Structure 1
């Protein structure tokens, strides 16, 4: 696939206690690199796409290590070197009825210091066809919301297809603005949107009623943001930290497509499952532009496989995902 894809977001160092230990009693931590947008980019690169990640990192060993990790997935990098620290988050893996827990330590990170004018978007978007971002970045500061808007205006002017994951994280919106004060202005530039019905009021300032159907909600979103062509939601049922049933719906050309559901037991790691879905969605929309049913099936199969893979990034190949989508299940050994 020759289409050049740009992803923009913070690369984070993830520290997790081993063996489902709790943070406050753990003496050791397993390290992974990730971040919502980088996860999408890495997964797409592993599927064979031409991907470039745009971010900021410190000029030190951790910054070099994070870049090396991104390069190992065959992504290219555009990195602003500034500041003194990489953003960190601690992830405490849940089990059964004990939920997982995330603790952020990303204030004053290199990425958080970005401001308008620091990134040459016109140069970065040259020859690119797709731009992906998420609601995590504008949640961090007004400056980063402004950088997102700067990128979106230029990407739109240059004719790129633009996708976004709402990725609503209430704990991150703490600089005096609510998500629904910032996000609607940014979503107006988007062609593809991943988000849940419960995000409607929190992120888009669009009220919903409990009895509203997917079709009704998505129609309201499109009425407010007419550039949107494709809207997608992932679904979770019967969920605890160890076992989920997942599904997904896709809205395109006023028609709703529903993927077959997966019952997932013995979850290894659900961090990044939504990013795996987003990568599968972008891959499907590029490779199968006239087949929305296959696209949502592919995206959900990608998300399903991520639950079995440790770390933030989905390491499944396009062949792995296609095999599951086509019914290769049961966990048999491939010989």
Structure 2
């Protein structure tokens, strides 16, 4: 039986100037919907898992369009229809040594009007096996941080496997709380965590010395958060906006595993690459629960392919990802 996953977060309208134009040059925009937890939901559904996505959208055409997009991927969106606007972000594609840029316009969005008690988590989690969230949601407001805790308490009590992506965005933490004042109380519920050693103190409040290696830092995370079973991290090397080398690692409490490294050139769109990895590792651990190396290789191949796909959501299929894992990369035409 397929594992049933619930994700929770805000879905945003993304507007990007075409052809690598700068925002200051734009006279038109390419339109996409996405954002972290919605991207994970869509990928998992594309991989064949039943997925619910919990959010809030306004009672207008943009709200309905965003939900229709999720339904087109097979996701079951459960949305409170309230508020007046869908959050927006503008993404300027970088090129070569010019980095990409994100400008947020999400204040007073429908999602931001959510408060504790509005969502019946026990009903949402009925028959669910897993719950995924990310650090973006509690970064937006204290109300949303409290809703995350509310959801996590119910998910823990009901025995769901809980995953999270730290997704640290310093520019989003504006309501008077630092990430390391909020996140540790939420991460303590997690079984699977995606993050990097550079986020140890700033997000989790766990000291990391300058020369500490990943296995040392991740072992300390597991000491601080005893429920954690798996920690994963992605690594970008030799990076500019057009080409990267990417790999990943996994700490299972006993050993640190490393994936193969992919050299990615002519990047089409790197937005959502971390979400593609997150969906890949969730699917991988469900599919190969005793084979951490294969699960890790699936996740890093998924994020590799996402760089070749426009928009927030990874459109790569399980078979395409497995083919890349098996060495069929290189851009050859499939006939």
TM range (shorter): over 0.9
Name 1:180's counterpart in structure 2: 180
Name 2:50's counterpart in structure 1: 50
Alignment of 1:134 with 2:156, yes or no, is no
Name 2:312's counterpart in structure 1: 312
**SS state of the match for residue 129, structure 2?**
strand
Deviation at 1:2, TM superposition (A): 1.5
After TM superposition, list the pairs within 5 Å mapping 1:82-161 onto structure 2: 82-161=82-161
Name 2:7's counterpart in structure 1: 7
Name 1:325's counterpart in structure 2: 325
- Taking the aligned partners of 1:329 and 1:89, their CA distance within structure 2 comes to 32
- Taking the aligned partners of 1:82 and 1:3, their CA distance within structure 2 comes to 30
Name 2:208's counterpart in structure 1: 208
- Taking the aligned partners of 2:213 and 2:285, their CA distance within structure 1 comes to 24
Paired residues, what number?
A: 335
Deviation at 1:206, TM superposition (A): 1.0
**SS state of the match for residue 232, structure 1?**
strand
Assess if the C-alpha contact under 8 Å between 2:277 and 2:299 holds in 1: yes
- Taking the aligned partners of 1:105 and 1:309, their CA distance within structure 2 comes to 24
Assess if the C-alpha contact under 8 Å between 2:219 and 2:253 holds in 1: no
Deviation at 1:133, TM superposition (A): 0.1
Alignment of 1:195 with 2:195, yes or no, is yes
Name 1:63's counterpart in structure 2: 63
Name 1:277's counterpart in structure 2: 277
Name 1:229's counterpart in structure 2: 229
Name 2:35's counterpart in structure 1: 35
**SS state of the match for residue 128, structure 1?**
coil
For residues 41-67 of structure 1, what are the alpha-carbon distances to aligned partners after superposition, in whole Å with 9 as ceiling and x for unaligned?
100100111001000000100000000
Which consecutive aligned stretches of 4+ in structure 1 deviate over 3 angstroms post-superposition?
none
> After alignment, is 324-333 or 149-158 more displaced?
324-333
Assess if the C-alpha contact under 8 Å between 2:43 and 2:276 holds in 1: yes
For residues 105-132 of structure 1, what are the alpha-carbon distances to aligned partners after superposition, in whole Å with 9 as ceiling and x for unaligned?
0000000110000001000000000000
TM-score by length of 1: 0.99
> After alignment, is 201-210 or 243-252 more displaced?
201-210
TM-score by length of 2: 0.99
For residues 165-194 of structure 1, what are the alpha-carbon distances to aligned partners after superposition, in whole Å with 9 as ceiling and x for unaligned?
000000000000000000000000000000
- Taking the aligned partners of 1:46 and 1:24, their CA distance within structure 2 comes to 35
Deviation at 1:253, TM superposition (A): 3.4
Assess if the C-alpha contact under 8 Å between 2:13 and 2:88 holds in 1: yes
For residues 204-241 of structure 1, what are the alpha-carbon distances to aligned partners after superposition, in whole Å with 9 as ceiling and x for unaligned?
01121121111100111000000000000000000000
CA RMSD of aligned residues (A): 0.6
Name 1:256's counterpart in structure 2: 256
- Taking the aligned partners of 1:321 and 1:80, their CA distance within structure 2 comes to 34
Unaligned runs of 5+ in 2: none
Unaligned runs of 5+ in 1: none
**SS state of the match for residue 78, structure 1?**
strand
Assess if the C-alpha contact under 8 Å between 2:269 and 2:307 holds in 1: yes
Name 1:240's counterpart in structure 2: 240
